Structure 1
């Protein structure tokens, strides 16, 4: 496994914890545009 280099000016994918909607943006949206759920970066793994 290798580390992903983080570029703050680059768009990243964010996924909603509730409905799974994926949004591409430069910064994490405050809430999901579809269900208002919490968003997370898809670059970060959660175990």
Structure 2
């Protein structure tokens, strides 16, 4: 469903920057995973 077919959605990137993946705290990894899930849901809604 498109609400405004003449105006395509704006695409953007979100990056998570951290010093070292091998020592990434579990809560940070879970936070990044959750953000990725939520933005994937919004991407599906917008297309």
Q: TM-score range by the shorter chain?
A: under 0.3
TM-score with structure 1 setting the length:
0.24
The structure carrying a bigger helix percent of its residues is 2
The structure carrying a bigger strand percent of its residues is 1
Q: Which has the higher contact order (CA 8 A, sep 6+)?
A: 2
Structure with max Cα Rg: 2
